[in-house]
Amino acid sequence: MSTLSQFSLKFRDRSFVPLLQGGMGVNISTAELALAVARCGGIGHISDAMSPHVHDLEFGSKLQNEKLQKFRDYQNKFPKPGLSWDTSVVREANRRYVAQTMQRRQGDGAIFINIMEKLTMGAPDETIKARLYGALDGGIDGITPSASLHIGTLPLIADHPRFKEVLIGIIVSSARALKVFLRTAKRVGRLPDYVIVEGPLAGGHLGFGLDWPEHSLETITSEVIKLLRESSLGIPVIPAGGIFTGEDAALVLESGAAAVQVATRFTISKESGLPSNVKQKYITSHEEDVVVNMTSPTGYPMRMLKSSPSMTSNIRPNCEALGYILDGKGACQYHDAYEQTGVDEKGRKLPVTDKMCICYHFMKFNCYTCGHNVFRLKDTTYKLSESEFYLPDAEEIFSSYLDGSEIIAPSREAVSEVFAGPVAS
Ligand SMILES: Cc1cc2nc3c(=O)[nH]c(=O)nc-3n(C[C@H](O)[C@H](O)[C@H](O)COP(=O)(O)O)c2cc1C
Q: Which atom of ligand 1 is nearest to the CA of 373?
A: 26
- Where residue 404 falls among pLDDT bands split at 50, 70, 90? confident
Q: Point out which residues pair with 46 in neighbouring strands.
A: 113
- The predicted model scores a pTM of 0.95
Superfamily of domain covering 4-418: Aldolase class I (3.20.20.70)
- Where residue 408 falls among pLDDT bands split at 50, 70, 90? low
Pairing label, strands 14-16, 9-11: antiparallel
- Please tell me the predicted confidence (pLDDT) of residue 335: 97
More confident of the two residues 324 and 409: 324
Digit-coded pLDDT (tens) for 125-179: 999 999 999 999 999 999 999 989 999 999 999 999 999 999 999 999 999 999 9
Asked, as a colleague might, if the bond just before 79 is cis with ω within 30 of 0, I would say: yes
Q: Which residues line ligand 1 (CB under 6 A)?
A: 22-25, 28, 47, 49, 114, 116, 146-147, 171, 198, 201-204, 240-243, 261-264, 267, 369-371, 373
Distance in angstroms (rounded) separating the CA atoms of residues 249 and 18: 9
**Residue 214 contacts residue 234 (beta carbons within 8 Å):** no
Query: Of the candidates 399, 361, 405, 420, which has an alpha carbon nearest to the alpha carbon of residue 50?
Result: 361
Task: State the average pLDDT over residues 277-289.
Answer: 98
Report how far apart, in Å, the C-alpha atoms of 318 and of each of 104, 312, 398 are.
Answer: 34, 16, 37
What is the dihedral angle through the alpha carbons of 295, 377, 15, 29, rounded to the nearest 10 degrees?
40
Helix (H) or strand (E) holding 132: helix 124-137
Report how far apart, in Å, the C-alpha atoms of 92 and of each of 120, 130, 132, 329 are.
Answer: 17, 8, 11, 24
Digit-coded pLDDT (tens) for 183-237: 999 999 999 999 999 999 999 999 999 999 999 999 999 999 999 999 999 999 9
Distance in angstroms (rounded) separating the CA atoms of residues 227 and 245: 28
Length of the chain: 425
- Looking at this protein, which amino acid is placed at residue 51? S
- Where residue 423 falls among pLDDT bands split at 50, 70, 90? very low
CA of 421 to the centre of ligand 1 (A): 37
Report how far apart, in Å, the C-alpha atoms of 305 and of each of 107, 118, 139, 287 are.
Answer: 35, 22, 36, 9
What are the extents of the domains in the chain?
4-418
Asked, as a colleague might, if the bond just before 26 is cis with ω within 30 of 0, I would say: yes
Q: Point out which residues pair with 112 in neighbouring strands.
A: 45, 142
Report how far apart, in Å, the C-alpha atoms of 278 and of each of 211, 318, 343, 391 are.
Answer: 28, 23, 30, 12
Q: Which atom of ligand 1 is nearest to the CA of 369?
A: 1
Q: What is the mean pLDDT of the chain?
A: 94
Count of Cβ atoms closer than 10 Å to residue 16 Cβ? 19
